[in-house]
């Protein structure tokens, strides 16, 4: 075999693996599009406007390849998925030890919006439930609300690779209906977990939930986490590598609402979902996965999103604790 033949054989294997993956994603999309279970979230009026038929799947590899099917350009608000990245920003700004004095890393089994703090420490349980996320957001540094918002937008820009904007209608909708979040924030102020700028912290939290993304953006963000904090499309570092472990651990144990335990058992990769119907999942060193489909199950996770991630995990042996398969198989297939 000449060098050119070898190169050609490798290119064909590469494209075969890639087209197999694309075909698999197309099949998943066809298989799960007819699912009619679940309900679009309506507790924030703006969310109720989502079309239940929207459905996109996107995978971005750590070497920068993008595979997608469906409504990958459809914009929606990031909601709770933002909590992962703001947790990362707070870790960078304050360090692990300080952050742990303000927010725990314990799964709760309670609803994401439960008004509950750890009885002894008075900390919110973890940064993925609303109380913990508001406490985390309240720590973002800056001399005024605009500076804090800009720091946050800069951080998201590094993960996504382009500018990102707050949807004002959703922000206002969150702000006027988020009474439980307000109650929680004031309770945390009472216990000294957040400082006196409670309303500013709430506004920043509502703004982060109202950032507009599409499914591809989410997959790039997940791939950045999979790629040790470097955005695989731009080559920019979004977060220091030393905090990836913290972020993924909390996603793994607390990222999927009250389904987190069963998700870890069945799917076995760190993930986070949000009430607008997005899910991100991270296979370290390999890929970022994102699925978007607004109808949610009773626990608040996208019905099609969970089905797709379970199928992907099973088919490619992505479960991190599955020693027989090993997720290296995934990139091997593409290479
Ligand atoms: N903005 C939402 C809230 O605080 C986030 C909910 C979510 O996606 O879990 O109610």
The answer to whether 205 is a known catalytic residue is yes
| CA 245 from centroid of its chain's CA atoms | 15
Look at residue 334 in the predicted model and tell me its pLDDT.
Answer: 77
Look at residue 120 in the predicted model and tell me its pLDDT.
Answer: 87
Look at residue 257 in the predicted model and tell me its pLDDT.
Answer: 92
The answer to whether 291 is a known catalytic residue is no
Burial class (CB in 10 A: 0-12, 13-18, 19+), 190: exposed
Look at residue 95 in the predicted model and tell me its pLDDT.
Answer: 98
Range 23-334 has CATH code 3.40.710.10:
yes
Top mutation candidate among 80, 175, 202 for ligand 1, by most atoms within 8 Å of CB: 80
Out of 40, 60, 69, 80, the active site residue is: 80
The answer to whether 80 is a known catalytic residue is yes
The answer to whether 122 is a known catalytic residue is no
Instruction: Annotate 165-199 with DSSP letters as a single string.
Output: -B-HHHHHHHHHH-HHHHHHHHHHHHTTSS-S-HH
The answer to whether 259 is a known catalytic residue is no
Look at residue 324 in the predicted model and tell me its pLDDT.
Answer: 63
Kindly give the distance from the C-alpha atom of residue 277 to the centroid of ligand 1, in angstroms, as a whole number. Answer: 11
β-strand partners of 290: 58, 280
Residues with CB under 6 A from ligand 1: 79-80, 112-113, 130, 174, 181, 209, 274-275
The pLDDT averaged over each successive group of 10 residues in the chain (335 residues) is: 58 72 96 97 94 98 97 98 98 98 92 84 94 97 98 98 98 95 96 94 98 98 98 98 98 95 97 98 97 97 98 95 66 73
Atom of ligand 1 nearest to the CA of 273: 8
Instruction: Annotate 268-329 with DSSP letters as a single string.
Output: -S-EEE-TTSEEEEEETTTEEEEEE---B-TTS-BHHHHHHHHHHHHHHT--TT-TTT-THH
β-strand partners of 69: 57
Q: For ligand 1, atom 2, which residue shows the shortest CA distance?
A: 79
Kindly give the distance from the C-alpha atom of residue 325 to the centroid of ligand 1, in angstroms, as a whole number. Answer: 35
Nearest CA-CA partner of 128 in 166, 96, 88: 88
């Amino acid at each position: 075999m000449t060098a050119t033949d070898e190169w050609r054989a490798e290119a064909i294997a590469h494209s075969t693996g890639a087209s197999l993956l694309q075909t698999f994603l197309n099949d998943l999309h066809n298989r799960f599009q007819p699912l009619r279970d679940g309900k679009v979230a309506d507790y924030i009026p703006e969310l109720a406007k989502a079309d239940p038929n929207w459905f996109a799947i996107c995978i971005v590899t750590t070497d920068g390849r993008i595979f997608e099917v469906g409504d990958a350009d459809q914009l929606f608000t990031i909601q709770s998925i933002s909590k992962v990245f703001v947790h990362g920003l707070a870790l960078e700004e304050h360090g692990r030890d300080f952050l742990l004095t303000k927010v725990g890393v314990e799964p709760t089994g309670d609803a994401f919006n439960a008004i509950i703090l750890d009885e002894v420490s008075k900390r919110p349980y973890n940064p993925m439930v609303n109380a913990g996320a508001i406490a985390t957001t309240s720590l973002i540094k800056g001399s005024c609300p605009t500076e804090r918002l800009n720091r946050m937008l800069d951080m998201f820009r590094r993960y996504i690779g382009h500018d990102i904007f707050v949807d004002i209608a959703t922000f206002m909708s969150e702000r006027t209906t988020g009474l439980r979040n307000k109650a929680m924030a004031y309770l945390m102020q009472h216990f000294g977990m957040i400082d006196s700028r409670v309303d500013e912290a709430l506004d920043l939290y509502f703004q982060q939930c109202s950032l507009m993304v599409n499914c591809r953006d989410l997959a790039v963000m997940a791939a950045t986490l999979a790629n040790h904090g470097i955005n695989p499309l731009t080559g920019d570092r979004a977060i220091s590598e030393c905090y990836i472990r913290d972020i993924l651990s909390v996603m793994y144990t607390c990222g999927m609402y009250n389904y987190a335990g069963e998700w870890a058992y069945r799917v076995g990769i760190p993930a986070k979902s949000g009430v607008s119907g997005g899910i991100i999942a991270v296979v370290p060193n390999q890929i970022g996965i994102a699925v978007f489909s607004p109808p949610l199950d009773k626990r608040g996770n996208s019905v099609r999103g969970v089905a797709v991630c379970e199928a992907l995990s099973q088919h490619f042996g992505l479960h991190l604790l599955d020693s027989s398969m090993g997720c290296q198989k995934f990139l091997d297939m593409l290479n």
